[in-house]
Amino acid sequence: MSLLRWRLNRRLTAAPGGCGTEPIPPNLEAMCGVSRGGGLAARHGLMSAVLSDGRPSIRGVANPTLIDLFAGCGGMTAGFVAEGFEPILAAEWNLHAAGTYAANFGEDHMFWGDIAALAAADIPPAEVVIGGPPCQGFSNLGSKDVHDPRNKLWKEYLRVVAAAKPKIFVIENVQRFRASTEFQMLLAEADGGLLKDYRLEHGVLLAADYGVAQRRPRTIVIGSRVGPVPLPEPSHGRPGSGRQEWQTVRSRIAGLPEQPGSVALPATRTEYFGQEMPGEFKYLDLHLARRPKDKSLLRYDAIPPGGGRFDLPDELMPDCWRNKPTGTTDVMGRMRWDAPSLTIRTEFYKPEKGQYLHPQWDREDPANRVNRPITHLEAALLQDFPEDFLWCGSKIEIARQIGNAVPVGLARAIARLLLPALA
Ligand SMILES: C[S@@+](CC[C@H](N)C(=O)[O-])C[C@H]1O[C@@H](n2cnc3c(N)ncnc32)[C@H](O)[C@@H]1O
């Protein structure tokens, strides 16, 4: 175990542990146990070479080191690891998300707890820091002061950047982030403040433009102190764009059983950070059926690909929608086979929340329609997770991990872009 990892685990035994809504570990000593997990890079053959000083390498030079803050289940880390980055620290306070991260990338460098409890002494130098602190609000009328309590999580992000002194940091957030107080604060810090050594580039990237089968817009901020790092150029586009065509829902989920068998995850349990939790689950374990009511099935059946609640006949229209003829069009929507999906959010298993109905629908042949929302597996594949990714937690927790993640393909495109600047 490296010195940092030993110190991190030692520190965890002394720290107050999780906070906020998370349980406090009853047995802190257990968190110092033998580290497990972390097989994703190995399973993909990415850790094959080792330098003479023992550092892992896939390009003949040491893999760039990575810290992931607010890591969730590790969607963003998965993209960076696929490009040869070496995760050395991650922070996440949700137990099951941290468990999923640990199952795929290793338990030893995951700080499970409130990022505010991560001691300065346990923040190693790293070449890259990634992560997206959650935003409190989206009004640019608020305070730009880093000490404003509403900016607490941003303060924590900046604290880690100041301690790790990365060459580059990357922030990912929702599209509206650029209208937020937190964004204004970030710009102010780059203008002579804590981030004065960094040059910022920012914009909204569409995951589909980077080979992900999903039209998910995301704000990306790249801060570099090693020369300008512009945002990645799109590799894909809509038909006629002159680029490779967008990946489609078909390319990700065709061929999976149309009628999943089980409504429940297997009963297996695993243990990370000394805590027992449901898991580890993989691939078809996540292909879960639901048991909709007859009326819901009639509604699903009435909606063609690309359609939504406006396609419902009057007798099937719920009152709340009948009384609200305008507004979001994608709810109760059905995906199209030959287009990317819309954004996969955390409640993709509820058709009334977005365009989540399975794309199979034949106008002439009602027997050739698949009347159900996408499964957890299908959502994970549309988020570009590899098929051998492991999952921990309940159905609801895993859905949240999937919907919160940065699509792996988008993270890969960003990671690839950074490599020349780090060389
Ligand atoms: C949008 S998700 C991150 C998704 C992740 N980047 C991925 O690609 O999978 C934000 C995460 O921040 C975590 N979080 C929020 N506040 C935190 C805190 N104070 N300390 C640690 N983690 C926190 C949440 O539990 C959530 O999993």
Structural tokens at position 366? 């009602």
pLDDT of 16 higher than 50: no
Q: Is residue 37 part of a domain?
A: yes
Evaluate whether 384 touches 407 at the Cβ level (below 8 Å): yes
- Mean pLDDT on 415-421: 96
In this prediction, residue 28 carries a pLDDT of: 31
Percent of the chain with pLDDT over 90: 72
Q: Is residue 19 part of a domain?
A: yes
Which of residues 37 and 335 earns the better pLDDT score?
A: 335
Residue closest by Cα to atom 10 of ligand 1: 70
Domain limits for position 243: 11-248+407-422
What are the tens digits of pLDDT across the range 366-388? 999 999 999 999 999 999 999 99
- This prediction has a pTM of 0.89
Q: Is residue 258 part of a domain?
A: no
Evaluate whether 76 touches 131 at the Cβ level (below 8 Å): yes
Q: Which atom of ligand 1 is nearest to the CA of 97?
A: 27
In this prediction, residue 57 carries a pLDDT of: 65
Structural tokens at position 313? 């006949």
- Mean pLDDT on 66-93: 97
Please check whether residues 169 and 318 belong to one and the same domain: no
What are the tens digits of pLDDT across the range 203-227? 999 999 999 999 999 999 999 999 9
Mutating to test ligand 1, I would choose from 77, 89, 92 the residue with most ligand atoms within 8 A of its C-beta, which is: 92
Residues 6+ positions from 319 with CB-CB distance below 8 Å = none
Residue closest by Cα to atom 19 of ligand 1: 114
Structural tokens at position 283? 């691939």
Q: How many CA atoms lie within 13 A of 192 on its CB side?
A: 0
In this prediction, residue 261 carries a pLDDT of: 86
Q: Is residue 281 part of a domain?
A: no
Please check whether residues 23 and 125 belong to one and the same domain: yes
**Ligand 1 center to 91 CA (angstroms):** 8
Residues 6+ positions from 202 with CB-CB distance below 8 Å = 178, 219, 220, 221, 222, 231
- Mean pLDDT on 73-90: 97
Q: Is residue 276 part of a domain?
A: no
**Ligand 1 center to 92 CA (angstroms):** 6
Please check whether residues 23 and 107 belong to one and the same domain: yes
Please check whether residues 142 and 236 belong to one and the same domain: yes
Strand ranges across the sheet with 128-131? 110-112, 86-92, 65-69, 128-131, 168-173, 217-224, 199-206
What are the tens digits of pLDDT across the range 287-306? 999 999 999 999 999 999 99
Residue 259 pLDDT class (50, 70, 90 cuts):
very high
Residues 6+ positions from 68 with CB-CB distance below 8 Å = 74, 76, 77, 80, 87, 89, 90, 91, 129, 130, 131
User: What count of other Cβ atoms lies within 10 Å of the Cβ of residue 134?
Assistant: 11
Average predicted confidence (pLDDT) for the chain? 87
In this prediction, residue 45 carries a pLDDT of: 55
pLDDT of 190 higher than 90: yes
pLDDT of 30 higher than 70: no
Please check whether residues 211 and 62 belong to one and the same domain: yes
Which of residues 166 and 32 earns the better pLDDT score?
A: 166
pLDDT of 137 higher than 50: yes
Q: Is residue 3 part of a domain?
A: no
Q: Hey, is 390 helix, strand or coil?
A: strand
Please check whether residues 330 and 413 belong to one and the same domain: no
pLDDT of 66 higher than 90: yes
Q: Hey, is 245 helix, strand or coil?
A: strand
Residue 134 pLDDT class (50, 70, 90 cuts):
confident
Please check whether residues 414 and 321 belong to one and the same domain: no
Is the alpha carbon torsion for 390, 396, 399, 404 positive or negative?
negative
Task: Work out the angle at residue 246's Cα, subtended by the Cα atoms of residues 241 and 251, and round it to the nearest 5 degrees.
Answer: 155
Mutating to test ligand 1, I would choose from 389, 404, 406, 414 the residue with most ligand atoms within 8 A of its C-beta, which is: 404
Residues 6+ positions from 401 with CB-CB distance below 8 Å = 72, 73, 96, 97, 100, 391, 393
Number of domains in the chain: 2
Residue 7 pLDDT class (50, 70, 90 cuts):
very low
Please check whether residues 215 and 307 belong to one and the same domain: no
Please check whether residues 198 and 344 belong to one and the same domain: no
Residue 75 belongs to a domain with what CATH number? 3.40.50.150
Annotated catalytic residues are: 135
In this prediction, residue 55 carries a pLDDT of: 67
In this prediction, residue 359 carries a pLDDT of: 98
User: What count of other Cβ atoms lies within 10 Å of the Cβ of residue 377?
Assistant: 24
pLDDT of 14 higher than 50: no
Q: Is residue 285 part of a domain?
A: no
Q: Which residue in 256, 260, 290, 285 sits closest to 270, CA to CA?
A: 285
Please check whether residues 237 and 305 belong to one and the same domain: no
Please check whether residues 325 and 416 belong to one and the same domain: no
Residues facing 236 on adjacent strands: 244
Residues 6+ positions from 243 with CB-CB distance below 8 Å = 209, 234, 235, 236, 237
Q: Is residue 358 part of a domain?
A: yes
pLDDT of 115 higher than 60: yes
Which residues have C-beta atoms less than 6 Å from ligand 1?
70-76, 91-94, 97, 114-115, 132, 134, 153, 404-406
- Mean pLDDT on 305-322: 88
In this prediction, residue 404 carries a pLDDT of: 96
In this prediction, residue 318 carries a pLDDT of: 83
Please check whether residues 416 and 358 belong to one and the same domain: no
Q: Which atom of ligand 1 is nearest to the CA of 94?
A: 25
Residue 42 pLDDT class (50, 70, 90 cuts):
low
- Mean pLDDT on 119-141: 83
In this prediction, residue 61 carries a pLDDT of: 67
